[in-house]
Each structure stands twice: as structure tokens, then as C-alpha cells.
Structure 1
Amino acid sequence: MTTQHSAIEADRALKAKHRAMWAQGDYPSLAVELIPGLGAELVEACGVTPGRRVLDVGAGSGNAAIPAALAGADVIASDLTPELFEAGQRFAERQGARLTWQEADAEALPFGDAEFDTVLSCVGVMFAPHHQRAADELVRVCRPGGTIGLLNWTPQGFIGRMFAVMKPYAPPPPPGAQPPPLWGEESHVRELLGDRVTDVSTERRTVRVDLFSTPEAFRDYFKERYGPTITVYRNIAGDPERVAALDRDLADLARDADLGTGAGRTVLEWEYLLLTARRAA
């Protein structure tokens, strides 16, 4: 009993840290400025139509949930970090979208079995620390014959490489936690979902990002707005040499990846995996 209680408390503490991580910075503005079209791509790939009951897992400020609602679906945007909902509600109101916002842990969704026609996640569920638990929940709440749609950064792409750059400076992951970019590996996601899904379709795509004038501007933008990057810098805040090293490493990452096609701009291509599947009967 003591061991079980300790595990429960450890999980609560971990989720509290994740919630706090995403509540800092300004992820809503980052999503709007850098990847505004990805949610709509996922919604289109999932074939969302009017009247469908849709759950967005790790919805953040509604990058996918709002386009699903605008397509006429009955949408719940769920996220571990409800602090993101205020911005999402403003975005939805400006676009005339109606949807429900609900706090929820991707590894223990507060919904019934087979409750949704479509369960999707746009660079959201990938940050749940225990991948199999999260995948089990995606499948559980999707009705037989319903659609599961996922859009996640790949390990080989720019964001996956950014996480690899930050890893030596980050606090050690808790036992059992897996790296988020693994959700961008087709073989990993297929293994997570197993024979509970059919008609799996995958495609690697890229989104072009040309907001930044210099590699250093990219670094500073993420230092100010992106929760995982802010957390890593806070971990090494007492060591100026390591802070300077991470500053160099992140700027060098963008410098090496720069396509060099923008006059006075740093032009980046961020790779992601788009996967759709049907829950087996």
C-alpha cells in the first residue's frame, strides 16, 4: 500500500511540474505565430465533419480544437494546463468557434469508453511522459471505427534536434518517462497503438518558419516563450558557463539548419509526422 501511495504521489508531483512548465512563457502566441496551420491540417486529415464528436488531447490554446469546431464538430479541448485556455477562448471567440474547454490528464482522461468519433492531438500528447498510458487512453475513448489523428515533431527534425541539444542541460527525467519526439517515429506509434487500430496512414511533412531575423533571435524567442526551454534554462541558472554554452548551442542549431533562402531572415523547416488510423471494431 505504501509503495502504491508513493507512486501516486510521485505521479501527481510530475504532472504538477508539467502543468507549471507549460503555464510559463507564452505558448499560445508561439503556436499562433509559428505553426498556425498545423491544427487545421490535422483536422482535414481526420476528415472532421459537422456533428462529429471530437476530443483534442493536449489541446493547449486550441490549435486543432478551434478548426475542428469551425468544421461543425462538437469539440472538447482538453489539456493538463488550463492556464492555456484563456488565450484559446479569446482565439475561439474572435473566429466564431464554439467548443468546450476541460482540464484533463492525457494519461487518465476523464471521459467514457468509446465516447468520441475522432480523437486527435497536435504536438500535444507527445509531451505526456508515459507514452503507453497516453496511447491506451487515446484508443479507449475513441469509438470502434472512429478516427485517431496525431501530428508530432520527429526526432530527426528541427524540434527533435532542439530537444537533443537541451537534454544535457535539463534535469534528469523521472523513471519511466520517455522522450517526446519518439511520437514522431512511425514504428513507435504503431507499437503503442498495436492491433487496436487499422488503416494506419502516415506522412512526414514540414512547416517553414521564417519569423526570426537571426539564429540568436530564434534562441531568445524560445527562451522567453517556450515552457520546456524556459525550464532547462532555469535548471542551469546558477551556472553562467552552462547558460552561455546552451546559448551557443541553440543559436548554432538554428544556424546549421538555416536554409539561407531569406534575405535577412533565418529560414527553418520543422519536420513532423502526420498519422491517422481507425480504431478496430
Structure 2
Amino acid sequence: MIDEMEQDRAVKAGHRRMWALGSYATVAAEVIPELGTALVQAAGVGPGDRVLDVAAGTGNAAVPAALAGAEVVASDLTPELLEIGRALAAERGVELDWQEADAEALPYADGEFDRVLSCVGVMFAPRHRAAADELVRVCRPGGTIGLVNWTPEGFIGQLFATMRPYAPPPPPGAQPPPLWGDEEHVRALLGDRVTDLVLRREVVTVDRFAAPEDFRDYFKAHYGPTIAVYRANAEDPERVAALDGDLADLARRHTEAGVMRWEYLLVTARRRG
């Protein structure tokens, strides 16, 4: 048991370091800014709601929820992201409660929140069942759970598939993040604890990259998981060159007339009363 606890602490410490690399705030603001607002609208967030954003990052969903009049707690494992989010919220003129928390062991009471959200966040918790259990637990009966998750078949799912051969092996028991974008996987995770489950595939349009190499270089500079994979191969120039080529090829296959369409699964459900 002690070994398992130590392993879990090491895994979480690794996640903190990875997401602190680069500038996830830049990616959220420049590439996918509309995702959080889409989630807030789909979940029906409004004035007076008590909202928890799980794995909130820099507040891509939490800030729009606060702007909609909700009382928001933005939780994340990585304190560096919370600090950036706090500053961004201040710029927008809203106040949120920013708290460091593990999505697999949330420090909140059962049924504490009216709406529990996560925008391409909780999907990166390594133990999907534990994270799903926590989402349901902290949502009040009749409350709403709302998620945006990258699909396995979509661009970001394929990005992780492309990086996988270059990455260190995952820790025991860890599941691939894009599984959260598979409808059957989500149904199995939430089970009969929810009603009114809606699973809808949507796309976010990305048109900021003039060439496939521009996407690759942008993610090499800003996106923590991509930076971590490059660092893992830094001593092997041939593997770095191969990864460079594979990421550019991936972006090329997913670009048409200068536009990329990144697929995600929009999930809404009500906790059974």
C-alpha cells in the first residue's frame, strides 16, 4: 500500500511538472478559446449556480462560468496554471476561488456543486474510474455534469497516438486520455448514476497555422505533453528528427485549405436523484 501511495504521488508530481512546461495558457487563449464558453452554455450555467471546474487549467471554462453569474471554484493539480488563471480572471473583472486539487481525490463534500465541469482537463487524470467517481460524487442529485473531451479519432487524439511511440511507458493502471472522447467509455464510467446523458461530437475550427511545421513548432514551444516527449528524446537527434516529421505529417493530413478541425465529445448529464 505504501508503495502504491508513493507511486501515485510520483505520477501526480510528474503531471504537475508536465503541465507547467511551456504555456498552456497561450494554447487555451489562442487556439481553443471558445471551448470553455461552449461547455458553460451546454451545461446551462447561470446566476446563482455553484460550479466546480475540475482540472480547470487557466480557467477556459471557469472564467466564462463566473461571467455567467455563477459562484465558481476552479481546481487543478498544477499551481502554476492556477496562478495564471487568477490573473486572467482579474483582467476579465471576475472573482473565482482557485484551489489546488487532484481530480481523482477532490477535497469537496458529496453533492456540494450544482454543476461540475471539465474542459479537456479531467480526461488527463490517469485513472478514469476514480476521476469519474469524483465528478459524480461532488455533483448534487439533479445537478449537471458537463465535459469537453478530445476524441481518439480527432486531431488531438491522433496527436497523442503519434507521440506515444516516443514517450516513456505510462505508469501502471493509467488509461489513455482520449478514451474520454469515446461514447461507450463515458457511458461505462458514468453508468446508471446519471440520467439525461447526451453525447455529441463537435469540432473546433483552428486556422492560425499557415503550415504544418508551424503547428509542430507551436506545440513544441507551448504544449506541455509535447514538450515532455521532446525532452524524453533530447539525447537522440534521429528520434527528434523522426518526431518532427511525424508531427508535421499529422498536421498536414488534418489541414484542408489552411483550416484544421479538431473533434471533441461534448458530454452533459444529470446526476440521478
- Deviation of 1:69 after TM superposition, in Å, equals 0.4
Q: What residue number does 1:278 align with?
A: 270
1:134 counterpart = 2:126: no
1:132, distance to aligned residue in structure 2 (A): 0.2
Q: TM-score, normalised by structure 2?
A: 0.99
Residue pairs, 1:129-208, within 5 angstroms: 129-208=126-205
2:103 counterpart of 1:111: no
**Amino acid corresponding to residue 71 of structure 1 in structure 2:** A
- Equivalent-residue separation in structure 2 for 1:38 and 1:257 (angstroms): 19
CA RMSD of superposed structures (Å): 0.6
**Any gaps of 5 or more consecutive residues in structure 1?**
261-265
Report the secondary structure of 1:98's partner residue.
coil
Residues of 2 paired with 1:158 and 1:216: CA distance?
A: 15
Q: How does 1:10-159 map to 2 (within 5 A)?
A: 10-159=7-156
SS in 2 for 1:211: coil
Deviations 1:173-213 (A, max 9, x none): 01100000000011101100110000001111001101111
* 8 Å Cα contact 2:82/2:100 also seen in 1: no
Aligned residues: 273
Structure 2, gaps ≥5 residues long:
none
Displacement of 1:86 in angstroms is: 2.0
| SS of aligned partner of 1:212 | coil
Q: Deviations over 1:210-251 (max 9, x none)?
A: 111110010000001100001111111111100000000000
**Which residue type is aligned with residue 83 of structure 1?**
E
Tell me how far 1:142 sits from its aligned partner: 0.4
Paired residues for 1:251-266 under 5 Å: 251-260=248-257, 266=258
Secondary structure at the residue paired with 1:174? coil
Q: TM-score, normalised by structure 1?
A: 0.96
Tell me the amino acid that sits aligned with residue 194 of structure 1: G
SS in 1 for 2:207: strand
* Equivalent-residue separation in structure 2 for 1:134 and 1:171 (angstroms): 23
SS in 1 for 2:53: strand
Cα displacement string for residues 36-94 of structure 1 (whole angstroms, at most 9, x for unaligned residues) = 01001000000011011000000000000000001110000000001012221222112
Residue aligned with 2:75, SS: strand
Deviates more, 1:90-99 or 1:213-222: 90-99
User: What's the offset of the Cα at 1:98?
Assistant: 1.2
Q: CA deviation at 1:256?
A: 1.1
Q: List structure 1 segments (4+ residues) > 2 angstroms apart after TM superposition.
A: none
Moved more, 80-89 or 180-189: 80-89
CA distance in 2, matches of 1:90, 1:7: 36
For 2:244, the aligned partner's letter is D
CA distance in 1, matches of 2:186, 2:30: 28
Alpha-carbon deviations, 1:143-198, whole Å to 9, x = none? 00000000000000000001000000000001100000000011101100110000
User: How much identity, in percent, do the aligned residues show?
Assistant: 69
Distance 2:32 2:60 in 1: 8
One-letter amino acid of the counterpart of residue 195, structure 1: D
